[in-house]
């Protein structure tokens, strides 16, 4: 999903766009050589906990939805287990 799509989804689900959370989650998207592989850095349970520390409790729900939306694009389903951290994300083949 694009930044705008994530913000629109947050507006629908949480009543605010939560731009800071989405920018933070996707901060490494433009890093050289990463592209969609940037997701392995913060798109997991450890990233959600960090988002909550940085942005507050509500950010956890927003971050989880952002991650689920992106994982769905990679073929992940909610029946699959949720990645725990960067190492687990890579082990699951989600990069």
- Separation between Cα atoms, residue 64 and residue 45, nearest integer Å: 8
Note the pLDDT tens digit of each residue in 53-95. Answer: 999 999 999 999 999 999 998 888 889 999 999 999 889 887 6
HEC sequence for 4-54:
HHHHHHHHHHHCCCCHHHHHHHCCCCCCCCCHHHHHHHHCCHHHHHHHHHH
Q: Provide the pLDDT for residue 35.
A: 64
Tell me phi and psi for residue 61, to 5 degrees: -65, -40
CA angle 87, 63, 10 (to 5 degrees): 150
pLDDT over 70 (residue 36): no
Tell me 80's DSSP state: S
In terms of pLDDT, which residue wins out, 35 or 28?
28
């Amino acid at each position: 999903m694009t930044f705008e799509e994530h913000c629109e989804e947050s507006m629908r689900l949480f009543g605010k766009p939560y731009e800071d959370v989405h920018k933070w989650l996707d901060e490494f998207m433009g890093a050289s050589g990463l592209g969609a592989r940037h997701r392995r850095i913060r798109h997991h349970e450890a990233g959600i906990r960090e988002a909550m520390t940085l942005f507050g409790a509500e950010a956890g729900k927003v971050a989880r939805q952002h991650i689920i939306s992106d994982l769905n694009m990679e073929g992940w389903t909610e029946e699959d287990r949720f990645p725990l951290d960067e190492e687990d994300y890579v082990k699951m083949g989600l990069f």
